[in-house]
Amino acid sequence: MTQQQCSILIIDDAYTVREYLRQTLMHLGISQVHEAADGSRGLSVFNQHQHDLVFLDIELPDINGQQLLAQIKTESDRTHVVMVTAHNSVDNVQKSIAAGASGFIAKPFSPQKIKNIVERCLAAKLN
């Protein structure tokens, strides 16, 4: 699988964050990008498509992102989930990793950080 073949889902209630991630991913050559503004829509989109990587906000309007992480990992344990938050606490990181997250990224983040995460998750899928 190449980076261009990678399918990514962004679940975040902030339009600006979704747009920033989408634009960054498009610049990396990834064209299969889906988005959702809340957890229920995110789970619906996730179940409709096969995603290799999910960027998941911890604080969603309808569900805690860590609960949604558990549901996603139940559906597909091969999907990499990177938790996104503005509150980079040790507790959030520990709970997310324990629930199966592949990584954790704090807002604001740079395009280089996104590139590194995509490359790391893609490399892990190939092994």
Q: List, for residues 6-48, the tens digit of each pLDDT value.
A: 899 999 999 999 999 999 999 999 989 999 999 999 999 999 9
For residues 51, 55, 59, 62, the Cα torsion angle rounded to the nearest 10 degrees is: -20
Instruction: Spell out the domains of the chain, with CATH numbers in brackets.
Output: 3-126 (3.40.50.2300)
Q: How confident is the model at residue 1 (pLDDT cuts 50, 70, 90)?
A: low
What is the tens place of the pLDDT at every residue in 96-127? 888 899 988 988 889 999 999 998 887 877 65
Q: Is 15 helix (H, G, I), strand (E, B) or coil?
A: helix
Is residue 67 predicted with pLDDT exceeding 90? yes
Q: Residue 3 pLDDT more than 80?
A: no
